[in-house]
Amino acid sequence: MPHPYQAILLIAFGGPASAKEIKPFLARVTQGLPIPPLRLEEVAQHYEAVGGKSPLNEITFRQANALKSALNNKLPVYVGMRNASPFFVDTLKQMTAAGVERAVGFILSSHQTEVSWARYQKNIADARAELGAHAPEIDYCHGWHDHPLFIQTWVELIQTAMGNIDAAKRPSAPLIFTAHSLPTAMAACSPYVEQLQASARMIAEKLGQQNWSIAFQSRSGRPTDPWLEPDVGVAIRKLVAEGHKEVVVAPIGFVSDHVEVLYDLDIEAKKIADGLGIHLVRASCPNDHPIFVRMMADVITAQVNAAEDRE
């Protein structure tokens, strides 16, 4: 019986790979969205402040290489990005040329929203339509916000971060889980908040951490529009008002250390914390952590096995 899939497609947001790509990248990302020009200028400066590029693309390729090894090189792993090279249409073209007729799609977004899941699938459907009849079919893996290995990845990352707090102070240090804020209307149409709460609860239980909360970051819309709250800065101020001197921040809504984490947490949130006299330590994102890669391999293997059982 022929194998149901000939490849894996890792699906990522993409980021600017150099300073000259920052503004064209932001124009692509925000096309048709009501984002004030001043905010775009601010975000461009954020990229400049963290080295003039995003590490997201490089991290995604590291994830792809590690995944290929975790799957014993059984299937080639391609990378396609919405907003940076290699764009979806280019990757699909490459896959077509290699004879790929059907592939497993793995979306590198841990929690599902229209913008992070449905839109990726629509973008890929559009790219396939552009390429015509020979474009490979893509079957998508299920979500993995509550996968035991995803939870375990974050447990280990948070434990590592806690190593930066004096041992005597660790038990009382509260934990803030963060994720990208969204317009409340968009969030209401998706399982995003419920999935974040489930991930956070499972991670906190494994850590034995009772003092935890969820905060949001990186909002970008009009100030008058309602977005998910509280903002991480507000959450930090609340902990200071309660008398806390240490806080651990875990950006569970992000799978790689890119600008929203490197600027919005490591620079902006850290500045707020330092100004208020609270010691903030930030857990690393999963990136190509071995347990996270094992989780990806497990989810993909389950998809392949299910397809084989059906055929």
Domain-wise residue ranges, the chain: 7-144+289-310, 148-282
CA atoms of 7 and 150, how far apart (whole Å): 23
- In this prediction, residue 1 has a pLDDT band, given cuts at 50, 70 and 90, of very low
Degrees to nearest 5, angle at CA 220 with 193 and 271: 90
CA atoms of 142 and 157, how far apart (whole Å): 24
Contact indicator for 14, 86 with CB cutoff of 8 Å? no
Whether this prediction's pTM lies above 0.75 is answered by: yes
Query: What is the pLDDT, as a whole number, of residue 2?
Result: 58
- For the cut 90, the answer to whether the pLDDT of residue 31 exceeds it is no
Tokens for 287, please give them: 């990136």
Nearest to 217 by CA among 159, 148, 264: 264
Same CATH fold assignment for domains 7-144+289-310 and 148-282: yes
Give 257: exposed, middle or buried? Use CB within 10 Å, 0-12, 13-18, 19+: buried
Tell me the per-residue pLDDT of 250-306, one tens digit each, with 9 for 90 and over: 999 999 999 999 999 999 999 999 999 999 999 999 999 999 999 999 999 999 999
Query: What is the pLDDT, as a whole number, of residue 273?
Result: 98
In CATH, the number for domain 148-282 is 3.40.50.1400
**219 phi, psi to nearest 5 deg:** -65, 150
- The domain made up of 7-144+289-310 is a member of CATH 3.40.50.720: no
- For the cut 90, the answer to whether the pLDDT of residue 223 exceeds it is no
- For the cut 80, the answer to whether the pLDDT of residue 117 exceeds it is yes
- In this prediction, residue 34 has a pLDDT band, given cuts at 50, 70 and 90, of confident
Q: What is the mean pLDDT of the chain?
A: 95
